[in-house]
Chains A and B, each alone.
Chain A
Amino acid sequence: MNDKNKIITGLIIFVIFITFPFWYNMGKAAPVPEPKLTEKAKLEKECIEPKEFMKAEHMQILDVWRESVVRNASRTYVSKTGKKFNMSLASGDDSCIGCHSSKADFCDKCHNYASVRPYCWTCHIEPPKEKK
């Protein structure tokens, strides 16, 4: 075991190198983004279901809706509170983007953070960007 020193230095350098991204980025984690609601969405107070439910389940809801609208032509969603909604992502004022009319401020905020890239908008027509 004449190379003890070399091996240990090598190991230390290796470990430092491998863990470099972790300690280099320590404490610099991007804060969890908060999607910005439009005035219209704020006025409504609640989406089709409570906020926490929407946060966790919106993708399942959209999936169920898509199946139901395309295959069964059933297009009215009655929420747990008994309110009726037009089941549509992007058509008209009572669709999802009727309220959440800014994709950049709403969808993209979290999706970019979580590195999720759904391809809704390759076909569905994105709301026009607001002119400032």
Chain B
Amino acid sequence: MENSRRSFLKIAGISALGFGTKPVLNAFASGGNSEKHEAEIQKNPAALKAKRWAMVIDTRKYKSEEDLKPIIEACDKIHNIPKHTNKRHEIMWIWIDEFKYVFTNQEHEFVDDRVKHLPFLVLCNHCEKPACVRACPTKATFKRDDGIVLMDFHRCIGCRFCMAACPYGSRSFNFRDPRPFIKEENKEFPTRMKGVVEKCNFCAERLAVGKMPACVEASNGAMVAGDLYDPESEIRKLLKNNYTIRRKPELGAGPAIYYIV
């Protein structure tokens, strides 16, 4: 086959024309669609936002378990948490424990009387580097950009790796169907099913509609939630003016629940 300069130029010209038509055709093709509105998904503008959610618990503001009961009940009621009679099946999102179990690394023989007998509220620490998220094989547990460690109950297969990984014991497993053990169902929130792990979700469903977590609301100021990375936020002021401790910080998980003792 012989190639002359003339035939080369011909082919080159036709090719250039061909490439040139593509943007024109694209423009025509998209023209018809532009008037049709595509479905989209939006955020609620009233939702509470933060770069990094955290909580401060002021233990000076309560004295006995009685003061903490309404806080726990508020959470239990909203999230359809069952009340199992068998202790080994217990489901807990937020609960009470003693200083020596909560702050294992700071307990010593001569801890002062107030702290020694004070009930401490414990809940998921929504860690900076959550061990549960790394352990989860199905990505049912994940950390949101705003620092909240959440669970997608749809995806949980109940392997309980996360429970083994969590250094705070913040997770509970549904050994039984929880439904019969829920006194009053909150229709706004789903229950769980047998074989699923659950834990505190920082009331993500409430934040999304502009409400503070239920425990914070019920605590009369003993608990404060806010943005850790906003220097003007209430919790930053509390952290600045008070000495706070966290649970097992030496593990490096970076818990986001701070306690004023």
**How far is B44's CA from A73's CA once the two chains are assembled, in angstroms?**
8
Q: In whole angstroms, how far apart are the Cα atoms of A55 and B37 in the complex? A: 20
In this complex, how many residues of chain A approach chain B with their Cβ under 8 Å: the count is 28
The reply to whether B192 and A123 contact each other, CB–CB distance below 8 Å, is yes
Known: A73-B204, A123-B153. A68 touches B190 (CB 8 A): no
Give every chain A residue within 8 A of B153 (Cβ-Cβ): 123
Given A49-B39, A70-B150, A123-B153, check contact A90 B192 (CB 8 Å). no
A66/B39 contact (C-beta < 8 A), A73-B207, A123-B191, A123-B192 known: no
For the complex, what is the distance from the CA of A68 to the CA of B142, rounded to whole Å? 14
Q: Is B187 part of the contact surface with A, judged by Cβ < 8 Å?
A: yes
Q: Is A45 part of the contact surface with B, judged by Cβ < 8 Å?
A: no
**Would you call A125 and B187 a contact (CB within 8 A)?**
yes
Chain A interface, DSSP helix/strand/loop, else mixed: loop
Is A38 in contact with chain B by the CB < 8 A criterion? no
Residues of B close to A124: CB separation below 8 A:
190
Q: What is B's interface to A at a CB cutoff of 8 Å?
A: 36-44, 47, 142, 144, 150, 152-154, 185, 187-193, 204, 207-209
A: residues with CB less than 8 A from B are 49, 64, 66, 68-82, 84, 87, 90-92, 119, 122-125
**Could you list some 27 contacts between A and B, CB below 8 A?**
A66-B154, A68-B41, A70-B152, A71-B144, A72-B43, A73-B144, A73-B204, A74-B41, A75-B43, A77-B41, A77-B42, A78-B39, A78-B40, A78-B41, A79-B39, A80-B36, A80-B37, A80-B39, A81-B37, A82-B37, A90-B187, A90-B190, A91-B189, A119-B193, A123-B153, A123-B190, A125-B187
